[in-house]
A = this chain, B = another copy of it.
Amino acid sequence: MIKTSDEKYLRAIYHLSEDKNNKVSLSELAYYLDLKPPTVLERVHVLQSEKWITYKKTDGIHLTKTGEKEALNVVRKHRIWETFLHKICKFSWSEVHELAEQLQNVNSEKLIDRIYDLSGTPKFDPHGDPIPDKSGKLPVSERRPLLNSVDGCKCVVLGVNEDSNEFLNYLTDLKIGLNEKLIVEKVFVFDGSMKIKYRNNESVILSPKVAEKIQVTCIKPNCPCKN
């Protein structure tokens, strides 16, 4: 049986190898977990001996098949809790992550099933991230960065690429939330920032850094936006 403290590592490794899909280095993992490299090295050796991961200095850290399955299970629990907290308990999308970190440790598949049902058997969490099914399969989504939009594109927010409170609160201030419809009025070729219209003709200019992290899908068919 896997331990809670292992799950933390597996989820971290999963995220790091997902984002930047190249090898995960020791120091990277240490930084992500807010721990020091010797600490992490120690645990990595253990995780390796338990066959959850492989590690070679040159090759970095990789999840094994079993490790990935376990990681996806933690991701599943995390995202189901986030969804439950948002939909049923009415927490904002910037509050759910931290709480879910605690709740995901609770050890009861039956409880996960129940809150999953209570939340309406969702496919995506409040940040738009896909919820793996029990076998670890991820639902596919059309999401692409808002940054790839062309002038005139009408699209809808499916999620975000970053969980940080600073970012989420910024969006909340702008009143940009999940399922918000956005019209890309103009893309400024200079730096890629874009003027967006939404709600009752509110409008805002988003920096490319922000636009890159907002995930959308076009509403009109055959929209010429890049993916």
Interface residues of chain A, those whose CB is within 8 Å of chain B, are: 85, 88-91, 99, 102-103, 105-108, 110-111, 114-115, 118
Contact = CB atoms under 8 A, between A and B. Distances in A.
Count identical subunits in the complex: 2
Contacts of A88: 118
Contact of A106 (B90, B91, B103): B103
Nearest to A88: B118
Nearest to A102: B106
Given A89-B118, A99-B108, A102-B107, 15 more contacts: A85-B111, A88-B118, A89-B111, A89-B114, A89-B115, A90-B114, A91-B110, A91-B111, A91-B114, A99-B106, A99-B111, A102-B105, A102-B106, A103-B103, A103-B106
Contacts of A108: 99, 102
